Structure 1
Amino acid sequence: MGVFIQSRRSSIFTKIVVTFLGLLTPLFAMIFFMNESGSSMVKEEILKSMDAKVEWYVNFIEADFDRVLKLIQANVNDDNLLKLSTSSMIMTPVERTFAINALKSKLDLIKTSSSFVQNVSAFIPELNRTVTSNDNSIRSFDEEQYKALSVTTNRYESPYLMWNKRLFISVPYPDPAVSGGHKPIFLLTVEVSEPALRSTLKQFTTNGEYAVFSGNKLLWSIEGGEGELRVNELVNGLRASKIKLKRQSIELSGAQYLVVSKSSERLDTTLSVLMPEKQIFGSLERYRWWLLFLMLASGCIVIFFAFSLYRIILKPLRTLIRSFNRVEQGNLKLVVKYPLKDEFGFLYERFNVMVKELDVLVHEVYEHKYRSQLAELRQLQSQINPHFLYNSFFILHRMANLKDNDSIIRFTKYLGDYFQFITRDGLYEVPLSLEVKHARTYIDIQGFRFAGRIRTEFGELPEQLMNTIVPRMILQPIIENVYNHGLDNKVRDGLLKVNFLQTMDELIISIEDNGDEMNESKLQSLRLLLLTPEQAVESTGLINVHRRLQIKYGDMWGLRLSIGKGGGLRVELKLPIRKELNEDASLVDSG
């Protein structure tokens, strides 16, 4: 009874319950207070609202100017504009007046399409006049303005030009960049209305906010909002930044402002909205001291909890984990001690008993299993299709009748290399480079039989995979399956593809054909045979390789079957990447 009471008194469950009660009671009280305040959530909602608002404003301005740019581009090929620019001297006064009025109507349409347009003008050097959308539709030709606005711009990335501190969008025709520097025959310009933009920016801002619409590459800016701020520092900072949408805090005129910016790649501009942080977050200031107190209290609690957890659970658990690792490494003489009589004391005791029993059983069980698997592996490797040998001698006989000595020399060389590789009984694992070489030799041999019928695309083996160790005879049986089943009925245009892919710690070799015999039903049957190889009549081909890989590496490795892009069977061999041979694998000699 005394032992039982001592065990109950030192129970690890009791320790955990008492520890959590001591930790969670003050922690829950502080969390409840913070949840009631809701300061963090309010602040985040304000920031999200500002982000969404600024993005909506930018989309609004961008859509307005997009409409103007499209209308300007559409009027470049206007018949009246082209006539006035090229043949005004031979036009009658009536025709010229009619053409000017029609052109002015088009310009008026562009102006009324957007509230951000101050004026739309067509500079016509041959007419020596400028047609505008304002009330005075025709005015004298301004050569200085014409030259300044004839500069080529990218209307889809940076459409603006500055002249006399006024903002323009200009479309020269033809473009000097295309015409080899020749002067354009006319120039369509749109003057951006700075007052309209400033008024719109003021509409965007409320409650002490301030908005700045500025160019990125071209140095210009338009400001609007309540009050006046010196924003040169802000504009320069935003131009130096390449972030499309950002938040930042800056100091202007002695006050701290929160800035939300959104750049437009289409217009090469940035819209920034400033809001006084004191006005936004003033009501949340008093919560900062509580947050600081919570952080300090939480830190003390976490330290205490971590120390308690380490002493009560982590320390004995780590000792037990280290003991399991040592057992896994083969140390079966291990005995661990634990001074208390709680749950860990029971686990340690049973662990010691388990290790003693394993020490007795592991040699018998492991050795028996290893010998069984090794015997099955040897039996599977020995199942090579004898029909290949018959076909090889038939091809050799045919070439001898044709007296094709060159082909006989190459063919017998391939056969020699082929049988030299498969008859190495002591070699169970090889570098991937040798396995690939053997597969290529097999394809060269089959090339004599299927010449003109089957084409092969054999991917290059990456240099870093050359020395990867793989079981012998895993590629050739899969390729043989392609010749015997996948492409056997192909009279022409047969295709066999082999590729290699390396991921973090695994190797995937894909073998694919464009045979006509594969469908979903046959695919499911093959997958079922891979899952239940004991139901197969004979363990060769796909089943042979899959079974060997799973015996060698485990159930997560082996073959994956699917229908390829060409309609035939796609086989993927999934292998772990290893760089050294097993102790029982023989080395490959230089011969």
Structure 2
Amino acid sequence: MKKMLNMKSFKKMILLILLICVCFYLLGLFSNQYSKKVVTEKIMEQMDVKAEVWKDDLEQQIDSLLLAQSNLSQDTKLSEINLTWEYMTQYEQYRSTVELSERLREIKVLHSLVESIKVYFENTKISISSGYPMKDYFEKIDFFEYNQIKIDRDRGIYITTYFPVGMPKGKENHTAYCVRSYLPFADICNFLNPDLYRTKDGLVLLYDTKGNLLSPNISGGKGFKPDKEMLTLVSEKIKVSENDEQFRLKEKDYGSCIYMDDIGIWMVYLYPRDNVTQPLGFFNFLNLGLTVLAVILFVLYASYTNHIIAKPLGKIIRAMEQQKDSYMIVDKQKDEFGKIYDRYNHMIDDMKKLMSDKIEAQYQSKMAEFRQLQYQIQPHFLYNSIFMIYRMAKYDENEEIAEYTKHLGQYYQYITKNTDSFVKMEQEMGHLKNYLYIQETRFGNRIRIEVDEINDHVKNLYIAPMLIQPIVENAYEHGLKDIAADGWIHIQVMLEGEDFIFRVEDNGIGIPDRELKRIQAQIYSTDIGLIEVHGLTNIQARVSSIYGKDSGIEIDNRPEGGVQITLRLAGVNLKNV
């Protein structure tokens, strides 16, 4: 198992199945959260609809009650009692009291919100009620500044109809009598939805505009009981909602709050959050089940993969890691891996046969590189350099000797110690500059060198070493060998598309056409085993071997005179680092 875990391919397969399991798990979590969001939104919409319906029902009840009280206050019977009570006999007073009490009782029966309803006669200081005692006396009545609807925080709502109506406020005792009904907050809440107090489907509360709770006994019954934190949250929200007519609560429990403008109170419908989260608990168990299933599948997959893939691959890897000739695979499997084992054994046999060919090819390549070094270190160049050192020393030109010796040392250091397969173009140009300095010292003003500016991108290209200096040396040794003065060598380094270009031009006498064809044939010859190897031929062999048949040397006469040699390396910019 330990070896199996060390296999990169097995780790990738394990990571893949682990990723799939994680994706399934995250999908389950997302489904859970999305379901909660959808269910919550649906519940809030239903709560808003219920709140609107309850608001309309309550306002209709109050409007109906106001209309009934108004009709009663306009009845001539009340005016008769108000004006002639003291002149009535006891029997007439009793009959009038009973008749009015019956009418009040009818209003109370038709309006279930009403707990009590009375008519107060200011002149006679008597009140007639729907209940018992039917007639009573009073000392003083609060006219509530003649407002029809009055909210008593401790009790409920008082609805009063005054007679006569339309008299200016601010005057005492201008009302002859009034009809007043009392609606307790508890009866209002029960009227809105009587089943809420017996179930856990929520709770209806009443608040005034200052955030004071008006509904009493909210902790009684078998239904939902909000905690103090939720009640405080509702109160704080109402205090800052002066211009709002409706808002929602989702912080703790769910709430739909709506303002009843006709009455001047807030109706708050609270719905317990547990009613939503408990049904959705199924999704939590589903996520747990998916997680357990994913772990089981992961273990089974790992075990199965180890048996059918990791172990057979392990045989191949162990065979390939063998350092001796005994790395053939012996196995009697008849499945796909058995066929792979057979092909692997045949491949090993073929590889052994190819190894000798490869060794021979490497030998030929090393011989070509050796000849290249032999060509670069030509005796006449070395002798001329030594002679120049001798001549400068004779005339005691010490600074020139030091500079010349420095470039000469760098030149030989580069060609003898550079063993890299590829070097930066910047290094190759540095080697060329050492060579040019040596040649300029040798030829003086006889030959002028012109090197175009090289792009930074080109400087960072990687090419095979010792390709460009022999081309320039060819211009010195062949192109300008018969020029006594005003010699000129022009060097260009650039990119043409994806091809690297190194071009050298001189203003020598050029090459006769017949000789040019012979040189071109020699350059493109595939036989590098010739005794006489031209420097350009060796470069062509190396370039075609490294960069392919589309790369090589092009040599032609210039129309103005002299020779132009171009080294083209196809697609060399792919070596850019």
TM-score (norm 1): 0.37
Q: Tell me which structure has the larger Cα radius of gyration.
A: 2
